[in-house]
Amino acid sequence: MAERTRELTTANQQLAANARALQAKQEEFRDFVYAVTHDLKGPVNAILLTADLLAQRDGAGLDAESREELDRIVRLAGATEDMIRDLLDLFRITSLSEDPEWVELSRVTEAAVERLRPQLLAKHARVEVNGLPRVWGQPSKLARVVANLLDNAVKYVPAGRGRIEIAGGLENGHVVLTVRDNGIGIPEPYRHSIFDLFVRVPPDEQLVEGEAVPGSGVGLNVVKRIVETHGGTVSVDSAARAGTCFTVRLPAGPLP
């Protein structure tokens, strides 16, 4: 029995050492990716500035094909800049250390709506907020969950008749938060992967008012990461041209 106990103790110690080594490697890799991503900002900004100078200086003398290629450079560099910004934001928000506390979802939602007021006014979109409880968690991260889901909804609702409903409640020991919109919906083939990093519906398959919706495929992944670190789940229910509903379930109180 004593020998078996020693073997188990040694095995547990080895597992703990392996876990620490793996965590150190993961942190090293994360720091490396963050540094590389941050360093890419300079070259991308230089490309955008150069393209802008070319357009101002020589734009009038370019033929249609050259002008189209220059516009394409600007679009691609702009999309890359957005992706870099969102990646840096992902690293920042997911690595942020915060003590958990009781978070009033109504206040968090009010702040998110206020920040997106210009976009909401531009689209004449209406937001309804109903029955939001409080939840135990990290305030900044939970605020980001609400902000990202609301931002996503605003992008995809139609101008002039957009409607977004944010509601909450308690269900089987969990706080349930739903963000529902009457936007264009998510095509069925993409619903299972919409929370994966960099996954987006192809622009030509998800037009709003005939225009492609900008984005990098990072925002919903941030939502998923934050929710899961809080011991919760996030899911989506959607139908093409019939709106989308995101549902977040979080433990109602501190985890044991």
- Could you read off the pLDDT of 125-158 as tens digits, one per residue? 999 999 899 999 999 999 999 999 999 999 889 8
Beta-strand relationship, 126-130 and 163-171: parallel
Q: Write down the residue that tokens 């992944």 correspond to.
A: 221
In the chain the domains, ranked by start, together with CATH numbers, are 2-95 (1.10.287), 101-251 (3.30.565.10)
Q: Write down the residue that tokens 């929710």 correspond to.
A: 227
Q: How far is CA 127 from CA 1, 120, 162, in A?
A: 66, 8, 9
Q: Alpha-carbon distance 76 to 60, whole Å?
A: 22
The helix or strand, by DSSP H or E, that contains position 122, with its residue range, turns out to be helix 117-123
* Residue whose C-alpha is closest to residue 26's, from 100, 95, 96, 98: 95
More reliable by pLDDT, 15 or 211 = 211
For 33-92, how does the pLDDT look when each residue is reduced to its tens digit (9 = 90+)? 666 666 666 777 777 778 777 777 776 677 778 778 877 887 777 777 777 777 777 777
- Is-above-0.75 flag for pTM? no
Name the band, by pLDDT with cuts 50, 70 and 90, for residue 29.
low
Is the confidence at residue 174, as pLDDT, over 80?
Answer: yes
**Predicted local distance difference test score (pLDDT) of residue 15:** 59
With both helix axes pointing from N to C terminus, report the angle between 139-156 and 219-229 in degrees, rounded to the nearest 10. 150
**Predicted local distance difference test score (pLDDT) of residue 4:** 63
Q: What is the overall mean pLDDT for the chain?
A: 82
Q: Alpha-carbon distance 126 to 128, whole Å?
A: 7
Please report the DSSP string for 34-68 in residue order: HHHHHHHHHHHHHHHHHHHHHHHHHGGGS-HHHHH
